[in-house]
Structure 1
Amino acid sequence: MRTLIKLLIALPLLAHPVAAQDIFQPLQDMVDELTNPPPRPPRTPAPKAPVAVAPEAPPVPRPRPPSLPDVPVVEAPAVPDAAEEAVDEQAVEEPVEPEVEAKPEVEAKPERVYQVACPAVIQGLVEAEMAPPLSEGICGEQSPLVVTGVLSKGRMVPLSSPVTTNCQMASALPDWVETVDGYAETMLESRLAQVDTGTSYMCRNRYSAENGFTSEHGFANAVDVTGFTLEDGRSIGVEGDWMPAAEPEGRLLRLAHDAACGDFMTVLGPEANAEHHDHLHLDMGCHGQSCTTRICE
């Protein structure tokens, strides 16, 4: 290969000897360059792409030890030194606690009482005032009335002593008192000046027995009447005037007894038993399955 190159270079020199010297040197440089190429510069390695590093996984938490039960820690009491025991307790000043201002006591509001108004009182048929509820064991009444007078023929006939009763009993009194008032005026020529009353509310059994049913008196549902006082001053009592029956006083008491059987559910007098020898017992108790049966003795 080198021989061929030299031959190709020598041919033009033979044809033009003068110019051979001028062009020899450049050709020789070319041949040298071809035959002896300059050393290549060292290759610089291409920068390597950064290797993606996976994020470091968070450390796995170590298992916690089992929790201990919520038991208060009780410290062992310190053992006092002998020197401390020798110190006079009176000489040691106790810490003074700060005074705490006492809060004012809030007064408790009284419990609200629910009671029912009585139409007989509102209409003026009876003179009465509402009393606080009664509660005594099995006995009691939520809306008791203290009755002091009963309307008859346009005027208020007073009771000898106030009676504590319920609205039902108070509402039945005016018609009965007005009937008796008419009997007294017709038969004895004197109107009623007063109704003489006995027991009203009292928590006890019937006939005051140790056992048995509770009396209607225990529910403020009964009134005892011992007699009547007339406007002319005469006093007619069940105990002293029930007999003889033919006398005007005895007839008035029997008419009063019979008239009560139409206004009250229970009427007991001297003919019923010895317990009622001195009064008429009037109540609004329930008798029978429908509470419509009346007892009149």
Structure 2
Amino acid sequence: MRHAVALALVAALAACGTSVPDRPKAVRAPAPPPIAGEACFRALEAQGVIFRPLPQTVSTGGCTLEQGVRVEGMSAALNRPVTLSCPTARLVDRWMDEVVQPAARRHLRTRVATVHQAGGYVCRGTRNGRLSEHARGRAIDIWGFELADGSKAVVRDHWHGAGARSRFLQEVGRKSCGLFHVVLGPPSDADHHDHLHLDLGEWKLCQV
């Protein structure tokens, strides 16, 4: 019974508005180290992230974003600005340096110039009627990467296969699980066939 309840909660809290398949088992994620208010903004600035702090609390349609930032640039460029919680923005920047760029060098012999994302903070729920982690600014969806030579590695087109771009994307997916609490990709369900969902929510789940 407890196993079924845990899986139901993960489906409500972790996914981008979809249910999570019955594999693997989800567990409670450890709370991230506390770093609040101006301290987080200073740390984000020290990482070289280009951002604008938002009001302390942003509430829209029943969703609440705390320590929100409007991010315009990171260690790799973004295809467009994204709104995230400050702790999530710090982790995304680390992810670019520690996961994305090493995988690009290893498999593609180049670096990622631009990360293509499909959204961070969005006030929306899941299919179960609970709030998504996007509604707290603790999630981001990634659909592709533009490389320094102008070519792209796109989840929808290149995840499956035996080529270098497939190996790059799948390594990014696997190693994202070491930083984020929930990582969902094409192996998780049909709703994630074209992107990676990365979040810093309350559950730990890796389905890539």
- Report the CA distance between 1:241 and its aligned residue: 0.6
- Report the TM-score, using the length of structure 1 for normalisation: 0.54
- Report the CA distance between 1:184 and its aligned residue: 0.9
What's the counterpart of residue 185 of structure 1?
105
Determine the C-alpha separation between the residues in 1 that align with 2:129 and 2:178: 27
What's the counterpart of residue 50 of structure 2?
127
- Report the TM-score, using the length of structure 2 for normalisation: 0.76
- Specify the structure having the higher radius of gyration (Cα): 1
Equivalent position SS for 2:124: coil
Equivalent position SS for 2:177: helix
The reply to whether residue 172 of structure 1 matches residue 172 of structure 2 is no
| Higher RCO by CA contacts (8 Å cutoff, separation 6 or greater) | 2
Counterpart of 2:194, as a letter, is D
What's the counterpart of residue 201 of structure 2?
285
- Report the CA distance between 1:138 and its aligned residue: 2.8
- Report the CA distance between 1:259 and its aligned residue: 1.1
Counterpart of 1:167, as a letter, is C
The reply to whether residue 150 of structure 1 matches residue 74 of structure 2 is yes
Counterpart of 2:100, as a letter, is V
Q: How many pairs does the alignment contain?
A: 168
* Identical aligned residues as a percent: 36
The reply to whether residue 116 of structure 1 matches residue 37 of structure 2 is yes
The reply to whether residue 200 of structure 1 matches residue 120 of structure 2 is yes
Deviations 1:54-111 (A, max 9, x none): xxxxxxxxxxxxxxxxxxxxxxxxxxxxxxxxxxxxxxxxxxxxxxxxxxxxxxxxxx
Deviations 1:226-253 (A, max 9, x none): 1100001111110111111x21001111
**How large is the Cα RMSD of the aligned pairs?**
1.5
What's the counterpart of residue 164 of structure 2?
248
The reply to whether residue 232 of structure 1 matches residue 152 of structure 2 is no
* Cα contact 1:201–1:217 (8 A) shared by 2: yes
Determine the C-alpha separation between the residues in 2 that align with 1:205 and 1:241: 29
Counterpart of 2:95, as a letter, is W
Determine the C-alpha separation between the residues in 2 that align with 1:149 and 1:160: 9
Determine the C-alpha separation between the residues in 2 that align with 1:215 and 1:224: 12
The reply to whether residue 296 of structure 1 matches residue 195 of structure 2 is no
Deviations 1:128-181 (A, max 9, x none): 111233202431113210112222xxxxx1111111000111111122111211
Counterpart of 2:158, as a letter, is D
What's the counterpart of residue 20 of structure 2?
none
4+ residue stretches of structure 1 with deviation over 6 A? none
Deviations 1:188-213 (A, max 9, x none): 1111111111121111112xx3x422
What's the counterpart of residue 64 of structure 2?
140
Determine the C-alpha separation between the residues in 2 that align with 1:120 and 1:227: 27
Determine the C-alpha separation between the residues in 1 that align with 2:141 and 2:190: 15
Counterpart of 2:155, as a letter, is V
Structure 2: give runs of 5+ residues left out of the alignment: 1-35
* Cα contact 2:66–2:136 (8 A) shared by 1: no
Determine the C-alpha separation between the residues in 2 that align with 1:230 and 1:158: 11
